[in-house]
Structure 1
Amino acid sequence: MANTPQPLRRTALLASGVALLGLLTACGNESATSSGTPQPSEAARTAGADPASGTATPGDTAPAIGAAPSDTAGSASASARTDGRCHTSELRAAVGRVDPGAGQRNFPVVLTNTSDRTCTVYGYPGAAFVDGSGKQLGPDPERAPGSPETVTLPPGKSAWAGLSFSSPQISGARTATPATLLVTPPDEREPLKVKWTAGEVPVGGNASSVSVTALEAGTGP
């Protein structure tokens, strides 16, 4: 074998050493990655990154505790505000014309939505006759048998319930002449006041019962 010149032998040894050092460095890097330190793309994905590019995308991260609600929650709240139970302050009460029949006196008690939102009523209104001092005359009306249904009231629309009692001239019941009819919307506590102009009502005796029906759409039969 030919003798290799000394300078060339040193150059070859030096190149081999550099290559060996590079190999050891690469092995060291692989060991750090496999021990649990996330690669850049993995760390970005954990914080809401685009999996394809490995870069973080604003808005993809989970909201912080106490953050403002999303638009979806806001829409739900708006829906609840525009479609819920009608409150006393949003209604006007009135008593329609008497509808006599078979010894009965029947009156439509009308609730009208005066607010600027759609709301609902369900069930029976409360009713009570009172004198000029606010004292109740007679017992609370009884609820007539029926199947209540939810009535949706857009602004300006009405629902009515029937208020009925036997004509005192026929029944012989003890009577009084109220000043006001108090009408309480379903599930509310505050009543609406309606001036009573239809004369005497039964307030005592065996035939003194007054009944009220469940609310339904419209202003009367």
Structure 2
Amino acid sequence: MEITEIVLLILGGITLIFSLVMIFIHIKKDQSYMKISWLVIIAFLMMGFPLISKAKILGLEYSKEKDLEYIKTMAEALAECPDNDVLKKELEKSLDKIEQEQPELKSGELAGLSEAYLVKGDTEKAKTLSDSAIKTDPTNSKAVAVKEMVKTQISINELPKSVNTETQIRKARSSINKLRTDPNTNKAVLYNMDKLLTVQDSLRKIK
């Protein structure tokens, strides 16, 4: 709770006690207390504001969690069916929504978004988010795993321009095999990486 909300809560409590005391005095003196009753309403409004504010924050947090869970589901589905345009458009739509809302994200949540962009094929955005995830919490195992996945995918994408292709392929394959043992990685994403790497290796051998 912020300082402003605490101050309002305290002032609201004081105002409520004062107004109730004044009403009691007016009743004892058989005087009208209608004007003072407005103080009771003001007191409740002052005390209620922090609670309303808290409820709003909780509502936004719940909405964010729902959006992130949906993005995760769409990303997992697209990783299983990478050629499905309907899934890709739905994932893009969900990612655009969370980009516009710009909620405050934790390291693991940033890593989840990074993975979603990786599945979508946007390695640049995936790298930016994975870097942010690591910066937010360098010890987050999910963030570390996703950063390594992004790095490996970028390495595979750059193979056609590489001078030392064979070495780069070997490193990428070693990275994929290592990532397969990590419980924080999406195995479907790694399968697609390995598939693309095999294609690139075959093209190298033909040349």
* TM-score under structure 1 length normalisation: 0.28
Higher relative contact order (CA 8 A, sep 6+): 1
Q: Which entry has the higher C-alpha Rg, 1 or 2?
A: 1
Structure that is richer in strand per residue: 1
